Amino acid sequence: MESIKALAEQHGTPIILFSENEFSRVYQSMQSYLPRVKHHFALKPLPTQECIKLISACDGYLDIASIGELALVKSADPSMVARTVYTHPIKKESDIEEAARSGIKTMVAENFTELRKIMKVAPQMQVLLRIAFPNEEALCNLSERYGADEERFERLYAFAHKIGANVIGCSFHVGSQMQRPDEHVNAIVQCRRIYDWVFDNFGVRFKVLDIGGGFPAKYKKTDMDLELFCIPIRQALDEYFDDGTDLWSEPGRSIAANCHVAVTQVIGKVFKNNRMWYYLDDGVYGTYAGMMYEEISYDLHPTKYNEEEPILSVFAGPTCDSIDVILKDVMYQPLNVGDYLFSIRIGAYGWASRTQFNLLAESRIIPYDFDLQEIEEYIEESELVFA
């Protein structure tokens, strides 16, 4: 890809190419796949001012998990604070107070202690009670850490009702990077029963249901298509929540993944242990951090394919740590120092999870509206020709 190589030569590496069009396209697709749902983009996988402004331009909503993310929203577009929900279930009292003072109207709680804190410093705050739906199939089983099971929820809501907490509904998160929508559907069905229990026992009709995140990014061809993933969820919401309940979601990974292309350069090479070792100026402590934290692998593609015989290769990052390896024991075309490589679909949690280990240069984000489909076609055609 000559355009990627030209940008690398112009700006230096490591860099990340950020496509505003790709980011907005996926978010708008979510709006069309689940049109009744207010999609709150979860800021944590890609916390940048640019993303906040694009969500605002899409007439969308935000999900934050910290006061730092709230400060970013306020600096990027203060009007978006009113369209933001604070979903971290555990917060400092000072954070609750600051969020309320800044204009946050809704936050999440999952236990008695959190409800007491909210009532102490922000008694008018709207609260969503988080329900746990454990799921071992998820990339990250978030219900292991947060959420109340149904029996505990009943005690929790009774307590909330007693102390006058302004509970407006429930939220859940069935886990990250789901490959089937079954768990979302099951959670929606169970929430209907829980909402009916609240009305039957307390005469309260919840106003909101937040179905969380877990929507898949398409890292591989075998990953489920987002549109197909949403069909059963839409059907379940139409069947079980056709009563005017305000529906929310918290997609993060699925929105952010496609919009970044990481570009790195070969800075060293050596043949040892019957393998060619290539050293790059980006690695698992940088943009490829998702490999450590989430067990996600990323392919490395050359900006120019060649017809030389592939050799057994290892691709390592720039740090002095032995675990800083992106790909190991792969057959790859020979490369030279100075060649450029790139990875696609690396927008979710890559840049956000980077560290300053060894105090090496961090990737800089460069605005560039690439065509992801065009890049994928280039990769597929080149691999067929030079295989």
- C-beta separation of 132 from 111 below 8 A: no
Flag residues of the chain having pLDDT under 70.
134-145, 385-387
Strands 84-86 and 311-316: unpaired
C-alpha 248/C-alpha 225 separation (Å) is 21
CATH 3.20.20.10 fits 20-256, yes or no: yes
Q: Do domains 2-16+258-386 and 20-256 have the same CATH topology?
A: no
Residue type at 111?
A: N
Give this prediction's pTM: 0.94
Closest CA to 208 of 161, 239, 245: 245
- C-beta separation of 51 from 256 below 8 A: yes
Domain spans, the chain? 2-16+258-386, 20-256
Give the number of other CB atoms < 10 A from CB of residue 199. Answer: 12
Buried-state track 336-362, b at ≥16 Cβ within 10 A, e below 16 = eeebbbbbbbbbbbbbbbbeebeebeb
Query: Hey, is 368 helix, strand or coil?
Result: coil
Which architecture characterizes domain 2-16+258-386 according to CATH?
Answer: Beta Barrel (2.40)
**How many helices and strands in the chain, by DSSP H and E?**
12, 16
C-alpha 162/C-alpha 384 separation (Å) is 66
Closest CA to 298 of 231, 373, 219, 197: 219
Residue type at 129?
A: L
Inter-CA distances, 131 with 66, 231, 383, Å: 20, 23, 46
DSSP 60-74: -EEEE-SHHHHHHHH
Q: In this predicted model, what pLDDT tens digit does every residue of 13-44 receive, in sequence order?
A: 999 999 999 999 999 999 999 999 999 999 99
pLDDT at 294: 72
pLDDT at 307: 87
pLDDT at 1: 75
Inter-CA distances, 80 with 48, 124, 194, Å: 14, 20, 31
Closest CA to 313 of 357, 355, 269, 343: 269
